[in-house]
Amino acid sequence: MADRLTGLQAFHHYLFGPKLHYIYGTKDKKGNKYHGNAIERHCNRLLRLISFVTNLVYYNLPFIGIYLYRNDYTIHQVLVPILSKQALGSIGTLLTSLYLLRGLARYNDNEYSKFIKILRESEKSEPSSRARNMLAQYDFDFKAWPVDYYKPDCKTGAQTKLTPESCSNKNGSRNPGSVVNNYPIEITKYCLAHLFGRRAVFPGSTSFLQAVIGEYLDEGRRKLVEEFGGKRAKLRTADSNNLDSVFVDRRNSIEENGEILVICSEGNAGYYEVGCMETPLACGYSVLGWNHPGFANSSGLPFPKSEKLAIDAVISYAVSSLKFEIKNIVLYSWSIGGYCASAGAMLYPNVKAVILDASFDHLIPLAVDRMPESLLSLSTRPGDIRTNRGNDLAIQLLMSRYPYLFDDESMPIIRAWLSADDKEGRRAVWDSLNFEKDIRAETYMDQYVIKHGIQFPMEIGKDLEFGSKIQILLFLVTKYVIDFEAVHCQPLPPTHFQLPWFHEP
């Protein structure tokens, strides 16, 4: 009995406490599902059924309304029986008895009692770390999980404003190639968000998808916690969303990359439980995964502003709670997660690197010319390679960093190079150029950097003739773009997870 909370006040924790799902295993103990006793199970089942029916009615109110109207029911006829004393009374009695029964059942269950006591301990304003660690052994409704980290404000101001204008205004004149015509993009974004709905852009935020793959998510989370020692945490953003995250610490392990933290931003139907964390984990990095607002157990909706505040909270948590230096943080993203990664790089330009996998352009140029010390590597994935949006992304990145290497003549060449299917294709592009001399681009670049330092945009190419410019440009392309044959949804193999190339004379 020692483990039970006692007193009438305490009993309400048993009545309304969160559902307990699973107790994680440790090295010497296997994890097990929490079943509770038969009474708790039946009560939970009935409560679920009631909530399902209520939701069903609620979401179908318009259709029910039309049906009743067509069949000449009046509002009076419908509402009076529903709102009658007897009806309300029996529903009330039913619910009360279910909650009471469940509360008693939980009270009599050792496992649940132990859990609720630890939960209460952890909810105190300054919980002991022992209580927090013990709580982490339980998988329960995430809504009831205490907040681990709160980022009340976002870095704002002109420097970090995430608008397309801030990109093109920033010396478009000096950088003519990078003038992006933003209006179509803005209009498209608006339509996507409001006309087709964010559901189309972020299917991962629909409850339908979550219901279908819920079990895989639970399994994935178990694997991260039990096999990798993952630490789950709830991060609260400046717009009051709660993000679900998990952190795998490799700092004190034999893994040589453990000192570096890779923060993974998932795609539009991706969750950390089953997402791109896999790759950096296999490479021995410390890894922090999180779910977009509205995805699985993260609250909110994935609109650009909340996405930005979300990545801000995640990086800030990594720095202030997990104690990683910003220069040891790599932002890694898959597909549309590239938006978060680039927003993150704008807010924290000193990150070690940004790696975008299977990403595309549009939102990216905003970030690119704002991250002088960060690096960027792109892996492009073919379909028809010419239509690969990764190519546009690569070109825009290079253009903003090395504007003088670009002109009307170099553009078709670089496009042809990026569109080539394989080595032979690129060889053919090279041969067709008939360079008079090989300027040894790498050496040239090194010497340039020694002389002028590294600062973007670089003025390299300002007084070079065409052939030399192209050679440098093609050299840079081979350094910036990793080409990897795959379909969009295939995870990046660990061998391709490389920190980006950087000017290092």
Report the nearest approach of ligand NAG to the CB of residue 168 (Å): 9
Among 6, 86, 173, 252, binds ligand NAG (CB under 6 A): 173
- CB closer to ligand NAG out of 121 and 218: 218
CA torsion, ordered 15, 16, 18, 21, to nearest 10 deg: 40
Q: Where are the alpha helices (DSSP H) in 108-176?
A: 110-123, 129-135, 164-169
Task: State the Cα–Cα distance between residues 71 and 61, nearest whole angstrom.
Answer: 15
Whether the CB-CB separation of 291 and 271 falls below 8 Å is answered with: yes
Site string for ligand NAG, 265-304 (x = CB under 6 A): -------------------------------xx-------
Residue 217 or 441: the one with the smaller Cβ distance to ligand NAG is 217
| Binding window for ligand NAG (CB under 6 A); candidates: 97-105, 135-143, 301-309, 491-499 | 135-143
Contact 23, 32 (CB under 8 A): yes
Q: Which residues contact 417 (CB under 8 A, 6 or more apart)?
A: 426, 429, 474, 477
- Residue 492 as a binder of ligand NAG (CB under 6 A): the answer is no
Which of 24, 115, 122, 139 forms a contact with ligand NAG (CB under 6 A)?
A: 139
Reference 418, options 448, 454, 379, 456; nearest CA is 379
CA-CA-CA-CA torsion for 4, 5, 8, 12, nearest 10 degrees?
A: -100
Q: How far is the CB of 474 from ligand NAG (least distance, A)?
A: 28
Q: How far apart are CA 79 and CA 316, in angstroms?
A: 52
Query: CB of residue 244 vs ligand NAG: minimum separation in angstroms?
Result: 7
Q: How far is CA 107 from CA 7, 116, 277, in A?
A: 12, 10, 39
Query: Does position 135 bind ligand NAG by CB under 6 A?
Result: no
Q: What is the DSSP letter of 195?
A: I
> Minimum distance between the CB of residue 220 and ligand NAG, rounded to whole angstroms?
9
Of 175 and 237, the one with the shorter C-beta distance to ligand NAG is 175
Alpha-carbon separation of residue 48 from 61, 83, 150, 209, 252 (angstroms) = 20, 22, 32, 19, 44
**Among residues 349 and 457, whose Cβ is nearest to ligand NAG?**
457
In the window 30-69, what residues touch ligand NAG (CB under 6 A)? none
- Output the smallest distance, CB 365 to ligand NAG, in A: 15
By C-beta, is 32 or 171 nearer to ligand NAG? Answer: 171
**Member of 21, 132, 251, 503 binding ligand NAG (CB under 6 A):** 21
195: amino acid identity, one letter? L
For ligand NAG (CB under 6 A), the number of binding residues is 14
287: helix, coil or strand? Answer: strand
Give the contact letters, 403-442, x = binds to ligand NAG (CB under 6 A), - = no. ----------------------------------------
Cα R_g (the chain), whole angstroms:
28
**Site residues (CB under 6 A) for ligand NAG, limited to 201-230:** 210, 214, 217-218
Q: Is 171 in the site for ligand NAG (CB under 6 A)?
A: yes
Measured between alpha carbons, how far is 317 from 322 in angstroms, rounded to an integer? Answer: 7
Closer residue to ligand NAG, CB minimum distance, 142 or 228 = 142
Which residues here bind ligand NAG, judged by CB under 6 A? 21, 139, 141-142, 169, 171, 173-174, 210, 214, 217-218, 296-297
